[in-house]
Amino acid sequence: MELEEAHAIVAKLGLTWEKFINEYADTRWPGTRSVLLRHYLHGCLFLNQPEGSAIGLCSIHEFKPQCCRDWQAKLYKKECRQGLAKYWNLSVDETNHIAGSPEALKVFQAFLDSLT
């Protein structure tokens, strides 16, 4: 994320810059104009997802950085395929379609319908 976005998060959360860098930033990132967030348990530190739940909520949604707003779920993405398998018992077949039992597909479709 851009430094301006990181500073906005710091201000909104009431953190010091040092605390943000020490607890949220990935120190392996050598950026001078941007910050890379650490990931925790294969996900963003700001994603609140109860254990075993397929649904996670962004705790900084109102002021999340542009890179997060631009991210889209796609079936070719490893993390999306892992989530389908772990939380929905579904997979992606060789034709790039979601595959699984009729019941699992029905439950997943009902979830997707509930989002609109």
pLDDT mean for each 10 residues of the chain (116 residues): 95 96 89 86 82 84 94 92 93 95 96 88
Give the chain's radius of gyration (CA, Å): 17
Helix (H) or strand (E) holding 43: strand 43-44
Q: How confident is the model at residue 42, as a pLDDT?
A: 64
Write out the two tokens for 99: 């595959």
Q: How confident is the model at residue 44, as a pLDDT?
A: 87
Q: What angle do CA 73, 11, 72 make, to 5 degrees?
A: 5
**Bridge partner residues of 40 (DSSP):** 43
